[in-house]
Amino acid sequence: MKTIHFTGSLALVLALGVLSVSAELHAQAKKPAADAGAKPAEPAAAAQPDAKGAPAYSGMYAFLKEGEFVQVTVEDTGHVTGFVSRFADGDNDQGEFLDQFFKSAKLEGNKLSFTTEIVRGVAFDFKGTVERGEGKNPGDEAYFVLKGTLTENASDAKKNVTSHSQEVAFKMFPQGAAQSAEKK
């Protein structure tokens, strides 16, 4: 029963996030049409990502296990924030969700790196790129993919650190689900 309740809660959280992004994009899409008579160059530029294309990378990406995700937010200035939301690994806290916010993050072109805060003795380092995925249109699943090396640094009670690295490809979650929900 916990799995069903948790899955429903996760679906609700994801749907609300997608609705928020969808509403923001919908408002941005309408704005240029209203300003079309004023200055055509400015409204068109406002609807597009900046010259580096960085804001288009913002979104939610799958993480290591089903139900886990990475939220990446690229601000207009190129500043990157975000967090990893994952299941706890300990014997006593199985099924508990943990959020690990980025301690540091950097995006240079399409090269992304981030380090999370330590939560319950575990931190993650990611070094890789943001690449176009198999999604055909913006908002499709896997339109962007984070590809690179993820290192999990785990420390025990004696402060011994164990590192485990693996090559990963985190697909962007679809963003069109909210639009179909709005039509119903």
Query: Where exactly are the structural domains of the chain?
Result: 1-48, 52-176
pLDDT band at residue 47 under the 50/70/90 scheme: very low
Share of residues in the chain with pLDDT > 90 (%): 53
Average pLDDT of span 147-165: 94
pLDDT band at 56 (very low <50, low <70, confident <90, very high): confident
- DSSP label at residue 91: S
| Separation between Cα atoms, residue 46 and residue 64, nearest integer Å | 35
CA angle 128, 134, 140 (to 5 degrees): 100
pLDDT greater than 90 at residue 62: yes
Cα distance between residue 168 and residue 90, in whole Å? 23
Query: pLDDT band at 19, cuts 50/70/90?
Result: very low
Lowest mean pLDDT among 9-18, 41-50, 121-130, 139-148: 41-50
d(CA 31, CA 38): 12
User: In angstroms, rounded to a whole number, what is the distance separating the alpha carbons of residues 152 and 165?
Assistant: 6
SS3 (DSSP) at 36: coil
Whether domain 52-176 has CATH 3.30.413.10: no
Torsion region of 46: left, alpha or beta (phi above 0 gives left; psi -120 to 50 gives alpha): alpha
- Per the CB < 8 A criterion, the answer to whether 62 and 68 are in contact is yes
Q: What is the CA radius of gyration of the chain?
A: 18
- Residue 5 pLDDT > 50: no
Dig out the tokens for 79 from the structure.
């500043």
User: pTM for the whole thing?
Assistant: 0.66
Degrees, nearest 5: CA angle 123-125-73? 100
